[in-house]
Amino acid sequence: MALPTGVASLDEADAAIEQWEHYRRRKLDDGQRLDVAVMMATRSDGLWAASLTGHEKPRQSGKGDSIEVVESWGLTQRAERILHTVHDAVLLATETQSRMLSLLEHPDLRPLKARAWKGTGQQMIEMGNGGIIWYRTRTGAGGRGVDEVDRLVVDEAQHAEAHHLSAVTPTQAVAANPQLNALGTGGLDGKSAWWWSLRKLAKSPPGAYGWVGYSAQPWSVNTEGRVVISDVDPTDRDLWWSTIPGLVAGRVPIEFLERELMVLGPVGFAQEYLCVWAPEPGGGLVEALIPDWDALDNEASVIAANQQWALAVSPDRRWASIGKAGRTSEGKLHVEWMEHRSGTGWVIDKVVEYYGQKAVPIRVHKSGPEGAFIAPLRERGVEVVEVSTPEVVQATGQMLNAAANGQLVHLGQPSLRKAVFGAALRTSADGAVVLSQMRSSVEITPLEACVVALGGVPVVDSADSVYSGERGLVVLG
């Protein structure tokens, strides 16, 4: 959170809240009151303490009510000229206007409204006192026909791009007391550069700027000015209670969030409800799991001994991979994926096929999504080694140590490389450090399968391993 400096009074914020609660017949929660206070705090000269505010909040957490308090006060009491831009869907602009119109239908407020226009792309409400609000969707001409704007609202700011803003920010050039209010959820993968620029201001020295954020994601700005972000576990219910104001306030039932987790998947849920941001486009720095991965590429590498294989399935069941690991003739650890496909309908038949060729037990993390395949595979005659979470943690450490010491090799497979650079380490509820998907566009089951397979490779090579060529077994591949 970043609060504006030079605040002399919150009287106008309190009055605006009182007016809105009276006519809406409902109360704001503490988080919403804070939003309004940041936007409407005034200096000793009566001007806004913040000329720019950012509000990063999960879905269903009341951002719409907060900005409606400010806008309705501006229309009825300040005769403000407001441009409300929506950077997502056309219907959201229509819905936002409808909400304001419903408020202004109260018998006390109806006489203040002069006229309204509901035409798509040209929505507006005009007040008898000269106040006016335009609703526009994101286009290069989103501010066409609008000038001298006192308040610019950037709604769904995670979708806003610089060229969108360049078309509307000049409308505030001659305003005596301008303010820009940006509202959104977590930053999107490959987008949200402008939204990131506002978020980073929260790490800058205080000034005429306010930021209220509800993110479960730890992040910082390094000495080079680049963003370093960490990963979180979206299934951690404790994070839900500490991050989602709507849950705490009782507006959003836990059952609804459970359903949203299933529908959106862990990554989508994290972005929408925990405000987990994708890396900053072009300038963000994500701590690479294995920074020297490309230097470990050896397309000629083969497994000579101690070979293992494993299955991994993504939490949403959209992807599955089979990976293998073993030791080269030089004693280095070798990892590669054997199968990487969408869905899981192919898994059992393919594993049965491989097992029929090699007769080598497959390793499966019993507490992961792939654990659901243990019983069906055994029913088909496949020998399965059940792997515990502590064993996966240990295997992850073995892989990282081997990579750091130049004792790991791979074939340069693109999917495995992408998984390595799209994965992060997170601490689970029981304190274990485990692999986690970091970016919505990255699928990491190839890496997870290789890690679980690697966990079965003896730390010290043994030429007499039952998986070595000397015992006459065929090499998997």
Q: C-alpha angle with apex 88: 87 to 94, nearest 5 degrees?
A: 95
Q: Which CATH superfamily is domain 11-285 in?
A: P-loop containing nucleotide triphosphate hydrolases (3.40.50.300)
- What pLDDT is attached to residue 288? 63
In one-letter notation, the amino acid at residue 248 is V
- What pLDDT is attached to residue 463? 42
Q: How far apart are CA 157 and CA 87, in angstroms?
A: 6
Strand boundaries in 3-61, DSSP class E: 52-56
Residue in this structure with the two tokens 């030791």, named with its chain if needed: 327
Q: How far is CA 339 from CA 299, 366, 398, in A?
A: 17, 20, 23
Lowest mean pLDDT among 24-28, 281-285, 399-403: 281-285
Predicted structure pTM score:
0.62
Calculate mean pLDDT across residues 398-423. Answer: 90
Give 287-343 pLDDT, tens digit per residue.
567 878 989 999 999 999 999 999 999 988 889 999 999 999 999 999 999 999 989
Share of the chain above pLDDT 70, in %: 86
Name the token pair of 321.
């991979």
Greater confidence (62 vs 45) lies with 45
- Each domain of the chain, given as residue ranges in start order, spans 11-285, 293-471
Greater confidence (51 vs 161) lies with 51
Q: Reduced to 3 states, what is the DSSP secondary structure of residue 9? A: strand
Give 355-375 pLDDT, tens digit per residue.
999 889 999 999 999 999 999
- What pLDDT is attached to residue 477? 43
> Are 56 and 212 contacting, i.e. CB atoms less than 8 angstroms apart?
yes
Tell me the pLDDT of the chain averaged across its residues: 86
Q: How far apart are CA 331 and CA 381, in angstroms?
A: 32
| pLDDT beyond 50 at 137 | yes
Q: How far apart are CA 305 and CA 136, in angstroms?
A: 64
Calculate mean pLDDT across residues 416-429. Answer: 75
| pLDDT beyond 80 at 190 | no
Q: How far is CA 43 from CA 4, 6, 51, 331, in A?
A: 10, 6, 11, 70
| pLDDT beyond 60 at 139 | no
Sign of CA dihedral 419, 390, 426, 62: positive
Q: Determine whether domain 293-471 maps to CATH 3.30.420.240.
A: yes
CA 283 to the chain's CA centroid: 17
- What pLDDT is attached to residue 60? 84
Lowest mean pLDDT among 112-116, 175-179, 295-299, 463-467: 463-467
Radius of gyration of the chain (CA): 28
Q: How far apart are CA 118 and CA 105, in angstroms?
A: 15
> Are 296 and 334 contacting, i.e. CB atoms less than 8 angstroms apart?
no
> Are 107 and 160 contacting, i.e. CB atoms less than 8 angstroms apart?
no
Sign of CA dihedral 257, 258, 261, 266: positive
Residue in this structure with the two tokens 């940006």, named with its chain if needed: 182
Which residues have CB under 8 Å from 465's CB, separation 6+? 305, 306, 458, 471
Cross-strand partners of 410 = 297, 335
Greater confidence (434 vs 354) lies with 354
